[in-house]
Structure 1
Amino acid sequence: MSPARRQILRDRIAMSHANRVVAFQGAHGAYSEQACREKLPGYQSRPYKTFEDIFIAVEQGDAELGMLPVENSMAGVVSDSYDLLAVHNLHIIGEYYLPVRHCLMAHQGVNVERIHTVYSHPQALAQCHSFIKRHGWNRVAVYDTAGAAAALKEEHREGEAAIASALAAELYGLDLLAEQIQDSANNTTRFLIIAKDGIIPMPNVGCKISLLFEVRHIPAALYKCLGGFATNGINLTRLESRPVAGRDWSYHFYLDFQGRMDQVNVQQALEELKFYTHNMKVLGCYPESLRPESQGAL
């Protein structure tokens, strides 16, 4: 290959990497952006206002991937994310568990004794309840953690602080006054990575499969749906029910389990599942990420 041809290929590869974008919800410095940076360091992280904006950006090609929070170990399920997975035709290609480390930040030169009010997302304020109560501070809920840090930087409010990530403090030039102030040391958020096209995971890699289904209106339908996984020795890791949009008192179920689509026991379980369900939709088969702490099976 000629030197000129090699340079053309290098330029194309560099350009393709430069254009790789992962969409996240919130302002720069959000925990979702931290997940993007840690899990996908070769991608440019781009903020969007809503979760639905993430789906639209990936569908329209403005972003190659989306980083979507689906559950938190303290706050529970992110219902909007599951509802959007049901109505959009994107694929789950990966997951990531991010330890949430809340930090207290303020303008440079402000010390803890001068603070009287803290701003953050309602969940972050709740997750730092003991720390805030111990200091007797007022709490003000805002749209997101990184937005609280950005607003604090712009408005130069005296005696006020924000609770957000260390990344937010770095991006907005705020001083870190305290780190890891959350009540639970195991506070963790699970993210799913979504894309237009699915993937075939590498052989010998532990995988998860996520799917969505509605049960038929027959006695013991859910029990029969799950029975095929038990008889085929498949470990379920999550089961979540959500209302079906536009149909009152109708529900569908999200199921995560360990396995690969090419395994005989998985194929047998899915065949059995079809007898008791309708509108079954496989959302993705993807490499399983290690959790920060062990967790039992269903």
Structure 2
Amino acid sequence: MIPSNGPIAFQGRHGAYSDLACRTAFPGVPTLPCDTFEGAMAALREGRAGLAMLPCENSLAGRVPDIHYLLPESGLAIVGEHFQRVEHCLLAPPGARIEGLKRVHSHAVALGQVRDLVRELGLTAVIEADTAGAAAQVAAWGNPEDAAIASALAAEIYGLTILRRNVEDASHNTTRFYIMATTPMPPPPEQADVMTTFVFRVRNVPAALYKALGGFATNGVNMTRLESYMLGGEFAATQFLCDVEGHPEQPPLARALEELAFFSRAVSILGVYPAARQRHMAPTT
């Protein structure tokens, strides 16, 4: 396990899926809720947290907005990854019955993942800021007509009853998290099952991206993720975030990165870390 000299910071309230991910990956370590991703990163930089757990992609919803922009400028390093299965529960105040429900509250993404349930029960879906916040509101109201879609952990924290478990439409709903620290913790080059995450920008010449990525194919490096996003509102300024298998000091990846640097600019490694054991069992986006 990655050592932590303080609580694990995450974005959201206690009972959020990020909180559950922290508790699953680091049993017994306290968690620190933060209002924003920036807040979680600041808690880590300021020493109020020992690590931070930040979602980066989901098997249904795709990439998590903002993380791409924040990571390169954060001054933090990716030191691990964690895959968290998302198991939605239908939560209601004690004594409430399914047949008496009229409204269901949750985050927009979560509501989009339980459409079958909403249709089956004829409920009105009400969008809230986050899943754990929806659970807290439903608990505070105590109205048997209002329910929430959230985690079993949220039910435990806010004193709600689980009326139905695993109500998500897709059974493979999984979120991947980056584990962040203030300093890098790269494994030795000879270690197997290592991931490297980096960002780069291509030069403004024809076929630049094709040439930049060619070295990964010719050197047999498996690229598991490639995401593009605009910088500074300029359509010509595109940055790419990549996850690849391998260590930068291993010859295949070293050669691929050398070729990438020739055809691109601003290559920056964000982290070299052990692959999660769930990686080969987790769905890909």
Instruction: Tell whether 2:197 aligns with 1:210.
Output: yes
Q: Work out the CA distance in 2 between the residues paired with 1:260 and 1:105.
A: 44
Q: Which has the larger radius of gyration?
A: 1
Distance in 2 between residues matched to 1:65 and 1:138, nearest whole Å: 39
Moved more, 100-109 or 36-45: 36-45
From 238, 247, 269, give the equivalent of 2:256: 269
Give the residue type in structure 2 aligned to 1:156: G
Tell me by how many angstroms 1:247 deviates: 4.1
Q: Which amino acid aligns with 2:255?
A: Q
Within a 5 Å distance, the mapping from 1:10-89 to structure 2 comes to: 20-89=6-75
CA distance in 2 between partners of 1:240 and 1:228 (Å): 18
Conserved in 2, the CA contact under 8 Å of 1:99 and 1:292?
no
Bigger share in helix: 1
Alignment partner, residue 271 of structure 2:
284
Aligned residue pairs: how many? 281
Question: Is 1:229 aligned with 2:216?
Answer: yes
In structure 2, stretches of 5+ residues that fail to align are: none
Q: Give the alignment partner of residue 239 of structure 2, picking from 231, 242, 252.
A: 252
Instruction: Map 1:51-200 to 2 at 5 A.
Output: 51-200=37-186
Distance 2:280 2:196 in 1: 20
Q: Secondary structure at the match of 2:18?
A: helix
Cα drift, residue 71 of structure 1:
0.8
**RMSD in angstroms over aligned alpha carbons?**
1.7
User: Normalization by structure 1: what TM-score?
Assistant: 0.90
8 Å CA contact retained: 1:37, 1:45: yes
Conservation of the 8 A alpha-carbon contact between 1:100 and 1:187: yes
Shift in Å, 1:248: 4.9
CA distance in 2, matches of 1:205, 1:173: 44
Equivalent position amino acid for 1:218 in 2: V
Between the aligned partners of 2:280 and 2:147, the Cα distance in structure 1 is 29
Question: 1:97–1:292: 8 Å Cα contact kept in structure 2?
Answer: no
| CA shift in 2, pair 1:282/1:73, >3 Å | same
TM-score by length of 2: 0.94
Taking the aligned partners of 1:280 and 1:42, their CA distance within structure 2 comes to 37
Deviations 1:247-285 (A, max 9, x none): 454110001100012201111111111111111110000
* Secondary structure of 1:79's aligned partner: coil
C-alpha contact 1:122 1:142 (8 A) present in aligned 2: yes
C-alpha deviation, 1:79, in angstroms:
1.9
Q: Deviations over 1:154-196 (max 9, x none)?
A: 1222311001000000111110000000000001101111111
| 2:206 match | 219
* Alpha-carbon distance between aligned partners in 2 of 1:96 and 1:200, rounded to the nearest angstrom: 16
> In the alignment, is the contact (CA less than 8 A) between 1:186 and 1:293 conserved in 2?
no
Output the amino acid matched with 2:69: D
Report deviation, 1:61.
1.4
**What is the distance in 2 between the residues matched to 1:89 and 1:222?**
26
Q: Distance in 1 between the 2:23 and 2:271 partners? A: 22
